[in-house]
Chain A
């Protein structure tokens, strides 16, 4: 018998059921092979250890009432809290009341939560409707057409003189001529204001729509000459005579618009929004100002 064969029969050998020639061969192998002999001793001590394992007897409570014994949770006894030591009927009634209270609370809170939700939805809807209305208004402003060529006001003057030094000798001449033409009306020569706003933008056409919207909001009549703007080389120009009271509004809105358009200030001389105020020698009806908005294509 070799080690492999002995290993295969070790279970029977341990049980003592190996008899006859097989038993003799196994005994002889154990005498000659130290490793198998050691192993056999180890197995024997393992089997002895297993048979010597302490026995646990059935608790008397189970033996007496095998149908209805309570499970002893000996492991959990240390972790039992004070709450678990309270009699079950008190515990369950408190727990039941607690659950009922939670359910009632949830039922009471549902309409409130729903109201809050509905309010938030309404608010969203209002914002959405307002945006829709604004878009619709913006579309309606497109009615004011973009004119090509010279402005009505500038029919007799140069349109591109927005850079400060606009008053020249010709203006004075024209003043005189206007004086003669509009005799009898309240014309105050040399006291009129020209407001010039310059916005630098990538898309003058988009900005034009917004400016038209602003002008409409400021209740400037649509039939005001130059209301829709004039497309000129390098941009679009609005040249209008409006009520003096509307000028601050125009200025504020244009400032806001320039911030919204996100035009970046590249250098001090490249401001996205600039404005000037000059005295005009041209005759402008009293209580009115000339406003020139130049949307410069960047």
Chain B
């Protein structure tokens, strides 16, 4: 009983040391804002501290942390997610050259839904396996593959102006 707070604080420090960079970058990439990334990171740590680690997660620490991160990021993106202004949207659509569009890839990427962004980031930026992403995003692997393909196609339509 007495060791429980100590364990929890150790857990937080360990999470920060091992997954801190990835989690913070993940928050920053999805929310597209330093301050919102701070807020999200703090809420993730709080949630990790609050949630009692179940036995099943002992061997799957990363998916568990990522699951919490995805849940928090979803709600944060809904509340504080930066959305493109109408003028930015028009500018993106008005750009004709593919090279220029590729330079503005960040903007096109943030046009995607937060779930699609998280999926592409986890898979293509951090290179996580599908089973971990499925556990984190609470989706079957097959659905993830379809969603990824759809997201890539959407991005391709935007960047290469196929619409």
Contact = CB atoms under 8 A, between A and B. Distances in A.
B102 interface: yes
B16 A66 contact: yes
B145 A57 contact: no
Given A43-B152, A53-B109, A62-B20, 7 more contacts: A39-B156, A42-B156, A49-B109, A50-B120, A53-B106, A55-B21, A58-B41
Pick the most buried of A57, A63, A67, A73: most chain B CB atoms within 10 A of its CB.
A67
A30 B149 CA distance: 17
B69 interface: no
A76 interface: yes
A201 to B, nearest CB: 69
Pick the most buried of A7, A46, A69, A76: most chain B CB atoms within 10 A of its CB.
A46
A74 interface: yes
Contacts of B34: 56, 72, 74-75
A53 to B, nearest CB: 6
Name the prevailing secondary structure of the B interface residues: helix
14 contacts: A10-B152, A11-B145, A39-B156, A46-B155, A49-B109, A50-B120, A51-B125, A51-B127, A53-B121, A57-B21, A58-B41, A62-B38, A66-B16, A69-B38
Top-8 shortest CB links A-B: A58-B20, A50-B124, A11-B145, A56-B28, A58-B24, A66-B16, A71-B38, A74-B34
A45 B20 contact: no
Contacts of A53: 29, 106, 109, 121, 125
B113 interface: no
Contacts of A59: 24
Nearest to A11: B145
A167 interface: no
Contacts of B24: 56-59, 62
A12 interface: yes
Interface of A: 7-8, 10-12, 14, 39, 42-43, 45-47, 49-51, 53, 55-59, 62-63, 66-67, 69, 71-76
Contact of B38 (A46, A49, A72): A72
B148 to A, nearest CB: 5
A10 B156 contact: no
B20 A46 contact: no
B78 interface: no
A58 B45 CA distance: 13
Contacts of A73: 35
Nearest to A46: B155
B25 interface: yes
B144 to A, nearest CB: 8
Contacts, number: 93
Nearest to B103: A49
A45 B155 CA distance: 11
Nearest to B109: A50
B57 interface: no
B33 interface: yes
A64 B23 CA distance: 16
Given A57-B25, A66-B12, A67-B12, A51 B35 contact: no
A10 B35 contact: no
A127 to B, nearest CB: 56
B159 A46 contact: yes
A47 B152 contact: yes
A71 B149 contact: no
Given A12-B145, A45-B102, A66-B16, A71 B35 contact: yes
Pick the most buried of B15, B28, B39, B127: most chain A CB atoms within 10 A of its CB.
B28
A69 to B, nearest CB: 7
A63 B21 CA distance: 9
B83 interface: no
B53 interface: no
B13 A51 contact: no
B147 to A, nearest CB: 9
Contacts of B28: 56
Contacts of B109: 49-50, 53
B66 interface: no
B152 A63 contact: no
Contacts of B23: 58
Contact of B159 (A42, A56, A71, A75): A42
